[in-house]
Structure 1
Amino acid sequence: MRNFLPPVFLLLSSSILGQNVRAVTVYGLGGVENPTGTFGSGIPAATVSGSDFIAAYNAYNNVTLTPPALPNPMPATSFSIALPNQAANMPKLSIPHKGDFFGFSIEMSVVEQVIGKNASFLQPTFLNLLATVADRAGSVRVRIGGNTQEIATLVASLPENAMIAKDHSVDDNAPTQTPTLDFTDEFLYLFANVSSLVNAKWYLGIPMNDTSHLRLQIAEHADAILGSNVLGYQVGNEPDLYGQHGLGGRPKTYNQTDYFNEFGTMVNGINNDPQIASKNKIVAPSLQGTWTPESLWDIGYLNTYSSSLDVISVEHYPEQNCAAAFPGDGLGPIINPQDVFADYLTHASGQSIVQPYLNSAGIAQQYDKDFMMFETNTASCGGFAGVSDSFGSALWAVDYGLQMAYSNFSGAMLHIGGQNVSYNPFTPPPTNLSLINKWTVGPIMYSTLFLAEALGTTNTSRVVDLAANNGSEFTPGFAIYENDALARVALVNFMTEQNGQGAYNATISIGGSAVGESNAVPAQVRVKYLLAPSVAEKNQVTWANQTFGGRFAADGRLSGNEVIQTISCDQNANTCVVPVPAPGAALVFVSSDAQSSSDPSATQTYATTAVTNPAQNVNIDPTALANSNGRSGGTGPLAGTSKGGANGAGRMSGSLSLGLCSILACLFV
């Protein structure tokens, strides 16, 4: 095994390094040559410059929506929540959870852009972002895979010592028309070096496009290179779309029985491979919604393969924006983001997403398996500009994440695509122009910090939906019990203040005669707030007064002084009154131990110095970079994530070229 010792080199954009950087060749005002003559939003390439160029990518769109009107009738602006102090007296608690509940899903084909060029050149911003989660949760989970895992092959070497290469000459009916991927062991050493710096754990994808010629090398080599830092291997991605995609030449009639038999071939291949040390780390079936999980359970899938499964996985996006992403492909009318904005600003959204999976979550417990939402975000086919990159998405994800935890999911992976999606938790800059000098962190990223601190690091946190405020969909609340005692309360306010209305006060009582306990309200509680001026805000987002910064302003570290509010309680009345602004979310720490156990005293960051290197050009398929996965939703109860689901997206064609400046920076930890 390779030794992983600093110094490690990090990729930096030229603008960070100022005058010491050589001139670089930049294509199309930002590294994009589009054969159709237009950028993602349909702006002609000849007219794109400066701010227009930035807005041409959905990741940097200038769409700001109008916050929905206040509900009529309004929910109560003052209400009480009575909680037992002991978990034994609280019904309907979830299974125990870990703080790393929210992780990140990264399409295999965009690893170079997001994580690093190779094992020696890591993105420092990526490391910093992972550290903000890992230092709160104890670790952070990252999934590498998606549609592109199905057409990926580990090879001994590539020209010019490349880590990954796209073969445009091979057409395997890839679901996103992404070229076949070749990658080397350097790909795995890249992840190992990340794990040597940040406590990151990995899920890796094994291809299932050809079960006559198994390609298990990624598992063989990852077991040796990454060891215990590999959590599992996703065998196949969205098999319920194999027939529609024609993946590997499969017929349109491909069904559950066909998949059942082919999955058995994969399991047998893994079990019979002496180079794979871990035989029972499989993540499957990763259905996207064309088939229900029950349609597999009913034919004996779990009974047959449970000994090999570690995680039972599904993938789901609540909505799709395919008609806008692929105009002219007959995908129906384009959805106006303003029309669906209110749908995300309600507790009913998270409840409706998890409802079809409640039965399977229970079955997973019977088999003693984790049940994970392996890929998700606001909307497939790139999300909705103004919705997916708004503060509303952060509140939606907080509520959705806690609802999944309450519903006995074991975790969820927020998907990261390319420049042409608006839902990214974080996006590296597309060029080396001085105009674009840092990363862009989306509001949804803040939900990962909220969830990490809400669930803590003890691995004992159990969640309950409180149906707060008479079950109002605009003011949901959750209680989190840790080590069998009340530790935290999470309160969400989806409303935006209008004419002085929208904020609310929650009066929390703990213990008391009503639950057969002694009064247990402490003398004071501490509260962290997730805040922004409105649900439509895209830049001014803070977590406990700290921020990653706005567009092109993030280096992955939180800036500003952390502010934790102290609220005095009335122990005689056994009450604490917690105000929740509109909009916002409050995390109430019932004890100082509950707060200190999930709030890091310091977060490891990665300072850099730099030298220069000549520019290089890397050819990347536009679909892989701009759309990667998460390409389609559906109108049915289980929305899909790729072309070919209900209302699935059509294909894209062409190639693009990015002008990348290989600027090296030594890492000092």
Structure 2
Amino acid sequence: MILPTLLTFLSALHVSHASVTVYHQAPMAAQSAAANYTAPAAYDPTILNAPPIPNPAPSVQFTLELQSSSQAVQGLSIVQNGPFLGFSIETSVVNQVRELKIEFKHSSFLQVPFLNLMANIGQRAGSVHIRIGGNTQETATLVASIPDGKAIEKDKVSASNPTRTPGLLFTAEIIYMLANISALAKVKWYLGVPFNDTANLRLQIAEVGQAILGDNLIGLQVGNEPDLYSAHGHRPATYSPFDYFGEFGTMVQAINNDANIPAKNKLIGPSVATGPWTPEMVWDTGFISSYTNSLAALAVEHYPDDNCAAMYGLGSPKDPQTEFPNYLNHTAGKSLIAPYLNSASIAQAAGKPLLMFETNSASCGGFPGISDAFGSALWALDYGLQMAYSNFSGALFHVGGQNVYYNVCCFVSPPTNQSTFHKWTIGPIYYSILISAETFGPNGNSQIIDLNANNANAFTPAYAIYEGGNIARVALFNYMTDQSGANSYTATISVGGGQTGAPNGTPAQVKVKYLIAPSVAEKHNITWAGQTFGSTFESDGRLMGNLDVNTVTCDTNANTCQVQVPAPGFALVFLTDSAFSEVTPENPKTFPTTSMTRTLNTATVDPSVLATSNGHSGSDRNKLGSTGKGRANGAESLREVVPGIFVLLAMGLGAVMAGSGIARLGRVHV
């Protein structure tokens, strides 16, 4: 039975015809095929040209000789967990995983596609790690309430820095929303503590976060890219690692003195961008030894490139077509990790995890045709596995709203006036995170090694994954694009240390899942084991199509298994049945849609709420539009404000607060 209040609400939707005036996104890079494209970056149709086959081309036949036991392998990584790759969500767009409150006071409307997308990963990895933070965490303030019942609101007046980052006000409703997501989809959270005013610390997010999230709060970030504070006008020009060290100590002391923050050891720092500072400059202050009892992890943040000239007019413009090949080889990930190998060793010696707390293809929104193409899925997966091999303990790919190209998945919902007939758009890097979960599995006892395959060729890298001390999976990449098949390759896998067909030797057969697309430049025709999230506006967060897993019969006389990898493509080879079954759910958990909002536009929203992450404002937009029925530009770009679908869970009147023991008065809707 639908609750009477819900019926009242739905009835109100049927008679509402309010219009919403919106601002257009300023054009980003005016390059390639979509030079005049000005709508949100999430739907940019720009397609680049795939790079030519390298000359000389790599061999298309090579052998991988593996040991059955990890004890016989030198150079294995530290033990890794299933949710190694996760998400970093800009604080200013976190409300997009739910509906804005309209009539229900103290109610959260959780996005069905978002829950499905998280459940996909949680079932394979055991949990999902998400950070709520970024530039906008520094100026965020948790308040008791916001006028008109809003859960989050931007203060555009304070957006005076180069990246136009606004101040934020948000309520505990946001934290309750996160707890509801945890209860449904196995999500654990990192939260950013505001750090812009260390003389007047605002610890409410830590207090309320611990009270509501409980064990699902796994870390509190103190300072986001402090080495860029001076450049962004947040600190004096003389600001140094020793200044950060001192301010971090002020935070530690305040938390230790705060009885409302019972867990004192959840802090994360220094999260340097490796710009003006290196991590070693912070380690040299005595940071780790001085604050070891307060530190849950050490962290850095890094992007391989930037598109800031197109977004903010900072630096020199870059041509995506020229930049594209830089992402399409194994060297890309290795070169990104090289500056952090020493810090990884330092972290291990200190007994602390090292996290890549924010990364993606390029800062300032990414590149059209790169960040949203199949090549980025190969790049992100290879980069992630290289981080794991290099003894990072996790990495988070950043999400920043509809007006960036590098969106992983979870905020590319359809514009409001299309939400009743369009679904979500899933970015290629979501596939990378899903596959990473399958690569490491849910048991938390995997180790990985870079095999330097095919004479260490940069276009055909491979990794071996050991689970519980035994060989479990092999990951194979092919960065080349060649639909003729001439540059597809065959990897011959041989497992030593046991008899053929035995659990610790070459198996009699292996199962293989493929991530494939026609080209590294492809945007939507992407499949993982025969299934897909579809093209633009096609996904409800569930994999579509029939599961297609290849079974390869091995040569028991030669003690070999031959696995083909298309160009381009990725293959995950399962060497045991258990390695396959633990990451291949027979009954995937999904969240159905049982209620729909009105098919006409229904919400009136302050334009400041429509500003995008990292300080986008409306003051410099040169076009206005309306979503009112029959109005001009009614179908043009509108950032998601009130999505079209939600369901009422059969959960009674109390929302489930995972790990907190707190009963939330109100209802949870998804």
TM-score of the superposed pair, with normalisation by structure 2: 0.86
1:145 equivalent to 2:133? Answer yes
Q: Which residue of structure 1 aligns with residue 173 of structure 2?
A: 186
Equivalent of 1:665, from 638, 643, 646? 646
- TM superposition shift of 1:59: 1.2
Q: Which residue of structure 1 aligns with residue 120 of structure 2?
A: 132
- In the alignment, residue 405 of structure 2 is paired with which amino acid? S
Tell me if the contact between 2:474 and 2:572 (Cα under 8 Å) persists in the aligned partners: yes
Q: Which residue of structure 1 aligns with residue 47 of structure 2?
A: 64
Tell me if the contact between 2:445 and 2:467 (Cα under 8 Å) persists in the aligned partners: yes
Matched residue SS, 2:604 = strand
1:250-298, Cα deviation, whole Å (9 max, x unpaired): 2111111111111110111011111001100001111011210000111
Q: Which residue of structure 1 aligns with residue 156 of structure 2?
A: 168
Matched residue SS, 2:471 = strand
Point out the more displaced range, 619-628 or 485-494: 619-628
- TM superposition shift of 1:382: 1.1
C-alpha distance in structure 2 between counterparts of 1:556 and 1:668, whole Å? 18
- TM superposition shift of 1:663: 5.4
Q: Which residue of structure 1 aligns with residue 380 of structure 2?
A: 397
1:412 equivalent to 2:398? Answer no
Q: How many residues align?
A: 614
- TM superposition shift of 1:162: 1.2
**Structure 1 residues 666 and 470: alpha-carbon distance in aligned structure 2, compared to 1, 3 A threshold:** same
C-alpha distance in structure 2 between counterparts of 1:245 and 1:394, whole Å? 31
1:201-238, Cα deviation, whole Å (9 max, x unpaired): 00001011011111001111111111111011011111
- In the alignment, residue 61 of structure 1 is paired with which amino acid? D
- TM superposition shift of 1:627: 5.1
**Structure 1 residues 423 and 300: alpha-carbon distance in aligned structure 2, compared to 1, 3 A threshold:** same
1:465 equivalent to 2:455? Answer no
- TM superposition shift of 1:66: 1.0
Q: Which residue of structure 2 aligns with residue 32 of structure 1?
A: 22
**Structure 1 residues 659 and 283: alpha-carbon distance in aligned structure 2, compared to 1, 3 A threshold:** closer
1:616 equivalent to 2:608? Answer no
Equivalent of 1:331, from 315, 319, 335? 315
**Structure 1 residues 251 and 87: alpha-carbon distance in aligned structure 2, compared to 1, 3 A threshold:** same
Equivalent of 2:563, from 565, 568, 578? 578
Q: Which residue of structure 1 aligns with residue 534 of structure 2?
A: 549
Tell me if the contact between 2:27 and 2:37 (Cα under 8 Å) persists in the aligned partners: no
C-alpha distance in structure 2 between counterparts of 1:121 and 1:330, whole Å? 38
Tell me if the contact between 1:419 and 1:430 (Cα under 8 Å) persists in the aligned partners: no
Tell me if the contact between 1:200 and 1:229 (Cα under 8 Å) persists in the aligned partners: yes
- TM superposition shift of 1:176: 3.0
**Structure 1 residues 460 and 85: alpha-carbon distance in aligned structure 2, compared to 1, 3 A threshold:** same
**Structure 1 residues 286 and 306: alpha-carbon distance in aligned structure 2, compared to 1, 3 A threshold:** same
Equivalent of 2:244, from 259, 280, 300? 259
C-alpha distance in structure 2 between counterparts of 1:330 and 1:152, whole Å? 25
C-alpha distance in structure 2 between counterparts of 1:612 and 1:85, whole Å? 55
Aligned pairs for 1:370-519 within 5 A: 370-426=353-409, 427-433=412-418, 437-497=422-482, 499-511=484-496
Q: Which residue of structure 1 aligns with residue 225 of structure 2?
A: 238
Tell me if the contact between 1:623 and 1:653 (Cα under 8 Å) persists in the aligned partners: no
- In the alignment, residue 443 of structure 2 is paired with which amino acid? T
Tell me if the contact between 1:524 and 1:566 (Cα under 8 Å) persists in the aligned partners: yes
1:121 equivalent to 2:121? Answer no
C-alpha distance in structure 2 between counterparts of 1:425 and 1:167, whole Å? 26
1:108 equivalent to 2:91? Answer yes
Q: Which residue of structure 2 aligns with residue 223 of structure 1?
A: 210
C-alpha distance in structure 1 between counterparts of 2:27 and 2:609, whole Å? 10
1:389-438, Cα deviation, whole Å (9 max, x unpaired): 11000011111110000000111111111222111011122332369711
Equivalent of 1:355, from 338, 353, 357? 338
Tell me if the contact between 1:166 and 1:182 (Cα under 8 Å) persists in the aligned partners: yes
Q: Which residue of structure 2 aligns with residue 310 of structure 1?
A: 296
- TM superposition shift of 1:502: 1.3
Matched residue SS, 1:178 = coil
**Structure 1 residues 352 and 660: alpha-carbon distance in aligned structure 2, compared to 1, 3 A threshold:** closer
C-alpha distance in structure 2 between counterparts of 1:175 and 1:535, whole Å? 33
- TM superposition shift of 1:157: 1.1
Matched residue SS, 1:141 = strand
- TM superposition shift of 1:311: 1.0
C-alpha distance in structure 2 between counterparts of 1:608 and 1:259, whole Å? 47
1:451-491, Cα deviation, whole Å (9 max, x unpaired): 00000011000000000000000000000000000000000
Matched residue SS, 1:617 = coil
- In the alignment, residue 463 of structure 2 is paired with which amino acid? F
Mark the runs of 5 or more structure 2 residues left unpaired by the alignment.
102-106, 625-637, 651-670
C-alpha distance in structure 2 between counterparts of 1:279 and 1:519, whole Å? 44
C-alpha distance in structure 2 between counterparts of 1:379 and 1:659, whole Å? 23
C-alpha distance in structure 1 between counterparts of 2:15 and 2:644, whole Å? 10
Q: Which residue of structure 2 aligns with residue 632 of structure 1?
A: none
**Structure 1 residues 364 and 660: alpha-carbon distance in aligned structure 2, compared to 1, 3 A threshold:** closer
1:284 equivalent to 2:272? Answer no
- TM superposition shift of 1:33: 2.2
1:191-210, Cα deviation, whole Å (9 max, x unpaired): 01111111000000101101
Equivalent of 1:73, from 27, 52, 56? 56
Tell me if the contact between 1:523 and 1:570 (Cα under 8 Å) persists in the aligned partners: yes
1:342 equivalent to 2:325? Answer yes
Tell me if the contact between 2:483 and 2:518 (Cα under 8 Å) persists in the aligned partners: no
C-alpha distance in structure 2 between counterparts of 1:82 and 1:42, whole Å? 46
1:552-588, Cα deviation, whole Å (9 max, x unpaired): 1111110100011000001221100000011000000
Matched residue SS, 2:648 = strand
**Structure 1 residues 658 and 87: alpha-carbon distance in aligned structure 2, compared to 1, 3 A threshold:** closer
**Structure 1 residues 662 and 397: alpha-carbon distance in aligned structure 2, compared to 1, 3 A threshold:** closer
- TM superposition shift of 1:667: 3.4
Point out the more displaced range, 462-471 or 220-229: 220-229
C-alpha distance in structure 1 between counterparts of 2:292 and 2:610, whole Å? 35
**Structure 1 residues 611 and 422: alpha-carbon distance in aligned structure 2, compared to 1, 3 A threshold:** closer
1:589-630, Cα deviation, whole Å (9 max, x unpaired): 00001111122222211112225467223335599515569x
**Structure 1 residues 535 and 55: alpha-carbon distance in aligned structure 2, compared to 1, 3 A threshold:** farther
- In the alignment, residue 351 of structure 1 is paired with which amino acid? K
Matched residue SS, 1:243 = coil
Point out the more displaced range, 226-235 or 434-443: 434-443
- TM superposition shift of 1:170: 3.9
C-alpha distance in structure 2 between counterparts of 1:159 and 1:513, whole Å? 68
Point out the more displaced range, 283-292 or 615-624: 615-624
Matched residue SS, 2:382 = helix
C-alpha distance in structure 1 between counterparts of 2:503 and 2:360, whole Å? 43
CA RMSD of aligned residues (A): 2.8
